[in-house]
Structure 1
């Protein structure tokens, strides 16, 4: 890959961004292969950005049919129902993305991502999953980590006006300027399972309340056998009970997880399009730039609320 150069057509099409991040970064991006699972609103924003930027290839996984909820947040799905014809969300989104940039290879993989073997993930440089259970996140992250090549792994969840991104770049090397000299640095990222297993009482005092609330929601959905996002305001009493149990186990005061925040997350399980645009656009830019520029670092968690953005590292 390092020996391949951009074609004249690529250089002309991506001229503006090459001026911003350089030809080498564009070359890396154009040779990158990305897998996404769960074509919700936030992931749709991410896919749009990397396709327009000129990623090498993009593979979509989402066998669900179009629903009213999907239409409310995913702009890649046309409102004209006549084009659906029993096709999956991934297939419909794939058509829209190909129109954005015909030079990018966009394909669809059918099946349950949790059933794919490790060799399937070996052909990708970046794996992004959304709206999956905690168990699926752990499973896919573990499969990526067991491969010989480094695969950047991301999870994203958006609920109403709140969003969360987890990043695992494994052993990540980058360079930075210090006193006029270029210094080589390395960061060791924890897996998703390792990150959420850290006892709450040892976390920094300024950790976002949203981080704790998201863990309560995940635990509830997993315990009840629910899919990600299958929650409503009617579940609030059970959520408050679970919050009490978890806080007692974690030696954390319940005030760190306000009832109003849990109520908001339970009541607004659907994605909020403006939040999708921010979470799917801004933070992800750092995500794929880290893969192509090999410069700078990312926090393992990024949490977003419509009234502020926070990091947990």
Structure 2
């Protein structure tokens, strides 16, 4: 109770008026945590625009943006913090005045260094690190540095109609409120989530439980090769519901491992290599191969590297909201890969951890070679 009083005293009347709606939603203590948060945001493209907007308006303490790239003409169609007169300027510096104007109370720092030059200890000064629009090797490098510093890490990106958010919070405790049940709670709810404490309070003549839960996470390098939980593959109907976007994203990351971080082009060699990676990965996930058809593969490849503002708004909003939930230690956080399909307006979450079902512990069947599933017609190969 004493700490809550200190939080109330440290937030001014002006701040209470400014953040009144969200304080009513998540409380003064949560707002105080936001107010003191120091967040790093890497690569300031369309997705990071949305993340920054939501976090700055929520009233975080400090936002540091790292981006060494300049504003290009194609940025103007997907970003709202830069204009035509900013072409050729550093992307983060050009956006800084507009970001600051949204909420002058937030301390804004711009770093124009290449993120590849940062040493591992650089990330320890931040409370949360959000890396966007990087290749797989850089995601895993930053993720490893965050683990060494015991800092929560997010990786996120857009590919046209598609987007993803990956979370590695290492170990995260959060509290939920619920009506007290007569049935004893299972202390181990899932392979990654456990209950570490329960307290009660009375509210409106009802007994309310304050349940503290703990989620444990896996780094991206392990999640990328982990199987789907049995609940997604046990039944044929469940298998068919798993989006092929999961397979394609993992195939993209596997492709980047051997291509120096580059994305596949429409050359015959790249198409065949990517398709084999996708088909092999789909079978390794124990999914129905019929759900990975040539049309989806083609669409995914055509969307690579592009940005769409509506998709950025949805994915960026989900990412920013999860960061706020983590800082306030309320609500279930993303565990651990969220995928967004803008064509179907779906955003499933898959918990990917190196826990193998019993039936495959001693049985790893070879995957036979398959034919290329993407039709290599003249129009496609010449793009």
What's the TM-score once normalised by structure 2's chain length?
0.73
Q: CA deviation at 1:170?
A: 0.9
In the alignment, the residues of structure 2 paired with residue 243 and residue 13 of structure 1 have an alpha-carbon distance, to the nearest angstrom, of 49
For structure 2, list consecutive stretches of 5 or more residues without a partner in the other structure.
181-207, 352-383
Asked if 1:275 is matched to 2:277, the reply is no
Asked if 1:184 is matched to 2:212, the reply is yes
Match of 2:40 among 28, 35, 44: 35
For residues 68-95 of structure 1, the C-alpha deviation after alignment (integer angstroms, 9 at most, x for no partner) is 33222111112x32x44x4211111222
For structure 1, list consecutive stretches of 5 or more residues without a partner in the other structure.
none
Q: Of the two structures, which has the highest relative contact order with CA contacts closer than 8 Å and spacing of 6 or more?
A: 1
Cα RMSD for the two superposed structures: 2.3
In the alignment, the residues of structure 1 paired with residue 229 and residue 176 of structure 2 have an alpha-carbon distance, to the nearest angstrom, of 33
1:66 aligns with: 71
CA contact (8 A) 2:247 2:281 kept: no
Q: How does 1:13-162 map to 2 (within 5 A)?
A: 13-78=18-83, 80-81=84-85, 83-84=86-87, 86-147=88-149, 150-162=150-162
Asked if 1:204 is matched to 2:232, the reply is yes
In the alignment, the residues of structure 1 paired with residue 315 and residue 39 of structure 2 have an alpha-carbon distance, to the nearest angstrom, of 18
Match of 2:333 among 297, 302, 312: 297
Asked if 1:243 is matched to 2:278, the reply is yes
Asked if 1:194 is matched to 2:222, the reply is yes
Q: CA deviation at 1:293?
A: 3.5
CA contact (8 A) 2:325 2:333 kept: no
Q: CA deviation at 1:283?
A: 4.3
For residues 107-159 of structure 1, the C-alpha deviation after alignment (integer angstroms, 9 at most, x for no partner) is 11122223322332111111111111111111101101111xx4221011111
Q: CA deviation at 1:254?
A: 3.7
2:294 aligns with: 259
In the alignment, the residues of structure 2 paired with residue 141 and residue 281 of structure 1 have an alpha-carbon distance, to the nearest angstrom, of 22
Classify the secondary structure of the residue corresponding to 1:122.
helix
CA contact (8 A) 1:172 1:187 kept: yes
Higher Cα radius of gyration = 2
Classify the secondary structure of the residue corresponding to 2:71.
coil
CA contact (8 A) 2:66 2:110 kept: yes
Q: CA deviation at 1:212?
A: 0.9
Aligned residues: 305
For residues 254-284 of structure 1, the C-alpha deviation after alignment (integer angstroms, 9 at most, x for no partner) is 4343322221121122011111111111343
